[in-house]
Amino acid sequence: MNISLPNSVERVLLDEATIQQRVQQMADIISTDYAGLRNEEFLLVGVLKGSFMFMADLARRLTVPHRVDFIALSSYEDSAEATGAVRMIMDTRVDVARRHVLIVEDIVDTGYTLQYLYRIFGARQPASLRTAVLLSKPDQRKVEVPVDYLGFQIPDVWVVGYGLDFADRFRTLPYIAMLKPSVYSK
Amino acid sequence: MSLFNDVEKVLISETELKERIAALAAEMNAIYTDDDLPVLICILKGAFMFLADLTRHLTFRHELDFMEISSYGRGTTSTGAVRILLDLAKDVQGRNVVIVEDIVDTGNTLTYILRNFAARNPASVRVATLLSKPSRRQIEVPVDFIGFEVPDEFVIGYGLDFAEQYRNLPFIGVLKPEVYQRS
């Protein structure tokens, strides 16, 4: 189960048990907040690729009915620096109007992507619009964005695993690890 | 919880899923090496939960990509033609590809997908599916990794839906007939 740490990994920041416990807590809170809604009224929107693992673990712990949808944004996979520009490659399958929308993201750093999603989905007249984000790097923030359900605040280090990648590697580690600076500063 | 009320029975429990998926991953670990650097292609939406649990166990280097497809109208046609809503972000030419599916029933959709992939000239293509319904098969289709063979019942949960419901159940269940006969 990815037991031996890859050479490029400096150390584990959040182990599997810690993540699972926190995701369970988030699911409990979200299930309480959205209690009473019908399946078609509550929509989880996962942002690919990074959120697929968080989405899988969060969704199966929710006790409230909901639909799952995915969107894909353009990514700059060869660049270590995130920029503000985002492009929607795949939109939601269903119209979000009058639905309670919960955006599911792996990480918020500068805040640009989340700000973009707030603008796009906010303009579509959802019944409500909130965000569930596993990780936040507050030191990286360039724009203020509200995060309603947050997993962990982490320092400004390069993290991989649990959906997060470096040049498309390490995405499926079941834990979140710090990458050795020598790997990404090459 | 109302979701559970519509479940006739649990066909595959959470524990059984977990154990079998770990075993499937071990099969893949025995085949692929870091140098193969396969691309696992998750067919959305159904396969996302299977992908999340399968890939956590992989010990070889790999990459992920996603393809979202949608059938034309209700159900699958005999040609298996599907609309690609999201195509791969990667060029898979010369790459080792593993298609990750939630279920293979008639085989028509998978055949269509395999043809689509063959046109992209990958080095190799294998298929991993969580579920297979052999009694429904209309066309022979190669499947390399199968989680469970299931009878011809209406299965839901663990990524599989009925009218966009029940996807998030942590087990594979059988839907009560009155639920799908209602609509």
Q: Tell me the residue range of the domain where B120 lies.
A: 14-151
pLDDT, tens digit, 9 for 90 and up, residues A158-176: 999 999 999 999 999 999 9
Q: Is residue B92 part of a domain?
A: yes
Tell me which residue of A89, A88, A56 sits closest to B87, measured CA to CA: A89
Q: Is residue B37 part of a domain?
A: yes
Give the residue, A180 or B64, on which the prediction is more confident.
B64
Task: Please check the confidence at residue B77 and state whether its pLDDT lies above 70.
Answer: no
Q: In angstroms, rounded to a whole number, what is the distance separating the alpha carbons of residues A134 and A138?
A: 13
A80 — pLDDT class (breaks 50, 70, 90): very low
Candidates B52, B58, B59; nearest CB to A56:
B52
Give the count of domains, chain A.
1
CB contact under 8 A, B49 and A66: no
Q: Is residue A11 part of a domain?
A: no
Q: Tell me the residue range of the domain where A30 lies.
A: 16-155
For chain A, report the end-to-end CA distance as a whole number of angstroms. 28
Q: Is residue B168 part of a domain?
A: no
Q: Is residue B42 part of a domain?
A: yes
Q: Count CB neighbours of B13 within 10 A.
A: 13
pLDDT, tens digit, 9 for 90 and up, residues B10-41: 999 999 999 999 999 999 999 999 999 999 99
Q: Is residue A1 part of a domain?
A: no
What percent of chain A clears pLDDT 70, i.e. is strictly above it?
91
Q: Is residue B107 part of a domain?
A: yes
Q: Is residue A49 part of a domain?
A: yes
CB contact under 8 A, A70 and B42: no
Give the count of domains, chain B.
1
Chain A residues close to B170, C-beta within 8 Å: 60-61
Task: State pTM to two decimals.
Answer: 0.93
Q: Say if strands A159-160 and A176-179 run parallel, antiparallel, or are unpaired.
A: antiparallel
Tell me which residue of B89, B41, B51 sits closest to A52, measured CA to CA: B51
Chains A, B: CB contacts within 8 A come to 92
Q: Is residue A181 part of a domain?
A: no
The minimum CA-CA distance between B1 and chain A, rounded to whole Å, is 7
Q: Is residue B102 part of a domain?
A: yes
CATH code of the domain in which A106 resides: 3.40.50.2020
Which contacts (CB < 8 Å, 24+ apart) does range A18-23 have?
Answer: A19/A57, A19/A134, A19/A151, A19/A162, A19/A174, A19/A175, A19/A176, A20/A57, A22/A151, A22/A152, A23/A54, A23/A57, A23/A58, A23/A61, A23/A134, A23/A151
Q: Count CB neighbours of B123 within 10 A.
A: 12
Q: Is residue A35 part of a domain?
A: yes
Q: Is residue B180 part of a domain?
A: no
B74 — pLDDT class (breaks 50, 70, 90): low
CB contact under 8 A, B86 and A56: no
